[in-house]
Copies of this chain bind each other. A is one copy, B any other.
Amino acid sequence: MSIRLLRSSSHHQCYRPRYQAFSTTTRWRWHTSELDGEKMKSLKVHRDRLMKDIHHTAQWGTGERWGKASAETGMSRLALSDADKSARDWFVKTTEELGCKTTVDAMGNIFAVRPGQKDGPPIYAGSHLDTQPTGGRYDGVLGVTAAIEMLRVLNDNWVETEYPVGVVNWTNEEGARFPISMVSSGVWSGSIPLDHAHNLKEVGSGTATMKSELERIGYLGSTPASHEAIPMAAHFELHIEQGPILESERHKIGIVQGVQAYRWFTIHVKGQDCHTGTTPFNVRSDALLTAAKMILQSHRAATKHGALASTGILTLKPGSTNTVPGDVKFSLDIRAAADKTLDALEQDLRDDFALIASASDVAGLNTHGTPGLPCTVSWSTDSISSATTFHSDCISCVEAAAKVIFGDETEKLTKTMTSGAGHDSVYTSKVCPTSMIFVPSKGGVSHNPREFTSEEDCTLGAQVLVGSVVECDRRRVRG
Which positions in A face B, CB cutoff 8 Å? 241-245, 248, 260, 262, 264, 274-281, 283, 286, 288-289, 291-293, 295-296, 299-300, 302-304, 308, 310-314, 316, 318-325, 331, 333, 335, 363-365, 367-370, 382, 419-422, 444, 446-447
Q: In this complex, which of A286, A321, A369, A422 has the most chain B Cβ atoms within 10 angstroms of its Cβ?
A: A321
A311: chain B residues within 8 A (beta carbon): 288-289, 325
Q: Which 6 A-B pairs have the closest CB atoms?
A: A243-B278, A277-B420, A278-B420, A276-B310, A292-B292, A300-B368
Q: Kindly report which residue of chain B lies nearest to residue A307, judged by CB atoms.
A: B281
Q: Kindly report which residue of chain B lies nearest to residue A316, judged by CB atoms.
A: B314
A283: chain B residues within 8 A (beta carbon): 244-245, 248, 444
CA distance A369 to B314 in the complex (A): 21
Q: Given A244-B283, A335-B276, A420-B277, does the pair A314, B288 have CB atoms closer than 8 Å?
A: yes
A363: chain B residues within 8 A (beta carbon): 367-368
A369: chain B residues within 8 A (beta carbon): 296, 299-300, 303
Q: Given A311-B288, A333-B276, does the pair A368, B320 have CB atoms closer than 8 Å?
A: no
A323: chain B residues within 8 A (beta carbon): 312
CA distance A310 to B444 in the complex (A): 35
Q: Indicate if the CB atoms of A278 and B321 lie closer than 8 Å.
A: no
CA distance A207 to B382 in the complex (A): 46
A314: chain B residues within 8 A (beta carbon): 288, 314, 316
Number of copies: 2
CA distance A331 to B323 in the complex (A): 11
CA distance A315 to B246 in the complex (A): 32
CA distance A365 to B292 in the complex (A): 12
Q: Kindly report which residue of chain B lies nearest to residue A328, judged by CB atoms.
A: B314
A324: chain B residues within 8 A (beta carbon): 310, 312
CA distance A419 to B277 in the complex (A): 8
Q: Kindly report which residue of chain B lies nearest to residue A367, judged by CB atoms.
A: B364
Interchain Cβ contacts under 8 Å between A and B, 17 examples:
A242-B275, A242-B278, A243-B275, A244-B283, A264-B321, A274-B444, A275-B446, A275-B447, A276-B308, A276-B312, A276-B333, A276-B420, A277-B421, A286-B310, A288-B312, A291-B292, A314-B314
Nearest chain B CB to A259's CB is how many angstroms away?
9
Q: Indicate if the CB atoms of B321 and A245 lie closer than 8 Å.
A: no
Given contacts A264-B322, A276-B312, A312-B318, 9 further A-B contacts (CB under 8 A): A241-B278, A243-B275, A243-B279, A244-B278, A245-B283, A275-B447, A277-B421, A279-B420, A313-B319
Q: Indicate if the CB atoms of A322 and B316 lie closer than 8 Å.
A: no
Nearest chain B CB to A370's CB is how many angstroms away?
5
Nearest chain B CB to A127's CB is how many angstroms away?
16
A278: chain B residues within 8 A (beta carbon): 241-245, 419-421, 444, 446
Q: Indicate if the CB atoms of A288 and B295 lie closer than 8 Å.
A: yes
Q: Indicate if the CB atoms of A296 and B293 lie closer than 8 Å.
A: yes
A245: chain B residues within 8 A (beta carbon): 278, 280, 283
Q: Given A279-B243, A280-B245, A288-B314, does the pair A303, B370 have CB atoms closer than 8 Å?
A: yes
Q: Indicate if the CB atoms of B308 and A313 lie closer than 8 Å.
A: no
Q: Indicate if the CB atoms of A244 and B280 lie closer than 8 Å.
A: yes
CA distance A316 to B280 in the complex (A): 27
Q: Indicate if the CB atoms of A279 and B382 lie closer than 8 Å.
A: no
Q: Kindly report which residue of chain B lies nearest to residue A294, judged by CB atoms.
A: B292
A291: chain B residues within 8 A (beta carbon): 292
CA distance A243 to B274 in the complex (A): 8
Nearest chain B CB to A373's CB is how many angstroms away?
10
Q: Kindly report which residue of chain B lies nearest to residue A422, judged by CB atoms.
A: B277
CA distance A275 to B262 in the complex (A): 13
Q: Indicate if the CB atoms of B303 and A296 lie closer than 8 Å.
A: no
Q: Indicate if the CB atoms of A321 and B277 lie closer than 8 Å.
A: no
CA distance A308 to B323 in the complex (A): 12
Q: Indicate if the CB atoms of B368 and A304 lie closer than 8 Å.
A: yes
Nearest chain B CB to A242's CB is how many angstroms away?
5
CA distance A461 to B303 in the complex (A): 56
Nearest chain B CB to A286's CB is how many angstroms away?
8
Q: Indicate if the CB atoms of A279 and B244 lie closer than 8 Å.
A: yes
A244: chain B residues within 8 A (beta carbon): 274, 278-280, 283
Q: Given A288-B295, A312-B325, does the pair A277, B335 have CB atoms closer than 8 Å?
A: yes
CA distance A114 to B50 in the complex (A): 96
